[in-house]
Amino acid sequence: MASPLKVGIAGLGTVGASVVRLISEQRQALALRCGRPVEVVAVSARSRGKDRGIDMRKLRWVADPLKLATDPGIDAFVELIGGEGNPARAAVTAALKAGKPVVTANKALLARHGIELATLAEKRGVALNFEAAAAGAIPIVKTLREGLAGNSVQRVYGILNGTCNYMLTRMEREKLSFEECLKEAQRLGYAEADPSFDIEGHDTAQKLAILASLTFGVRVDPGAIYVEGITSITTADLEAADQLGYRIKLLGVAVKTEQGIEQRVHPTFVPKDSAIAQVMGVTNAVTVDAEGIAPITLVGPGAGGMATASAVVADIADIARGVRAAPFGRPQGKLIVSKKAPMQRHEGGYYIRMLAVDKPGTAATIAKRLAQHNISMESIVQRHSGPPAGGAEKASGPVPVILITYATTEDAVRKALAAVQRDRVISGRPQLIRIEKN
């Protein structure tokens, strides 16, 4: 059998410790699958004395991750430090310059510096693997880069953030408000003390940027993505979705259009009978639509120590086998620049919820404005409040009205709703959620 692949790991948090454990537990299986043993020989972390639940006394300790990255005693470098800047960036750069293949789970680093690092990996002829950066244990990177290399993919979309999916699931099932659900998610450790990165859609955008590059050959650029989070979603929206045959999910969507590659993150109505609608809790899912085959949906844990470690170890195994592919599926010089999608041109169906003033002519005014912008209605639901207690005459007030449109453009919907607001026949700001069909 060939000599062992000697691995150095920088970062021994939950994921790093799980990688060490998994390689130890799967030692024999990895050797058989890879044709050579895989051994963790050196590690680096901020705290040496922390109890990580695994015996690390036989591992060589290197205080500086930058020194570990260029250590002559390792064959491959695994970066699990996190963050888009140093020391993660400096360590990965140093390892690649030293001609060492790199495995990382760092989506922020790839979203910000992925092209730079991929270029360096190409020049040095080494692997830059990042299966764990996009959707945890789901093997979506290999699916897009290798498994579907012969297919023309038209759309890739999915649930890429477990925190948001957990919250929307709890809000739907238990009728919790957004604020109540967020507090519970923070208590359980699913949401950070500052949850904005998750709930405002930025985590999903970083992962989508990686998937869009692999799928369509565009340069990784989160700035090219339209981003909208879930903070505006209410139980009223979730109840309406349920009654209309939909569920609400925060989706990252990259799709080929006549205007180019459209990349967007936003709350979305998805049909209840779709595979993506069945994914509840902290689970992630990615659906790929490609010519010539039925849609493929991959479902699994998107985060967590062992889930992420499984993807990291799979990448290490590829290095042990001698497998190397262009990081983003094609030579870096062939990747194209994708400008931010003009959402005004986005075409699709829309859910619109508004509070209509309860007076004669309101419905006619709304219908007129929609017709002026060539917007056709698939369904209209008007919900009158019940009479006040005691049999008193019903108090006049805004009436909830829900509209589902046929396919139209975002520009048309925005202009029609702006006109309706100027007519003063609705109260407050309308809620607008896009519909993603199967």
Which tokens go with 205? 């955008």
Evaluate whether 197 touches 203 at the Cβ level (below 8 Å).
yes
Q: Which of 207, 256, 339, 415 is the catalytic position?
A: 207
Q: Residue-wise over 362-396: b if at least 16 C-beta within 10 A, else e?
A: beebbeebbeebebeeeeeeeeeeeeeeeeeeeee
Q: What is the 3-state secondary structure (H, E, C) of the chain?
A: CCCCEEEEEECCCHHHHHHHHHHHHCHHHHHHHHCCCEEEEEEECCCCCCCCCCCCCCCEECCCHHHHHCCCCCCEEEECCCCCCCCHHHHHHHHHHCCCCEEECCHHHHHHHHHHHHHHHHHHCCCEECCHHHHCCCCHHHHHHHHCCCCCEEEEEEECCHHHHHHHHHHHHHCCCHHHHHHHHHHCCCCCCCCHHHHCCHHHHHHHHHHHHHHHCECCCHHHCEECCCCCCCHHHHHHHHHCCEEEEEEEEEEEECCEEEEEEEEEEEECCCCHHHCCCCEEEEEEEECCCCCEEEEEECCCHHHHHHHHHHHHHHHHHCCCCCCCCCCHHHCECCCCCCHHHCEEEEEEEEEECCCCCHHHHHHHHHHHCCCCEEEEEECCCCCCHHHCCCCCCCEEEEEEECCEEHHHHHHHHHHHHHCCCEEEEEEEEEECCC
Give yes or no: 175 in active site: no
Alpha-carbon distance of 432 to 410, in angstroms, equals 10
Give the active site residues: 207
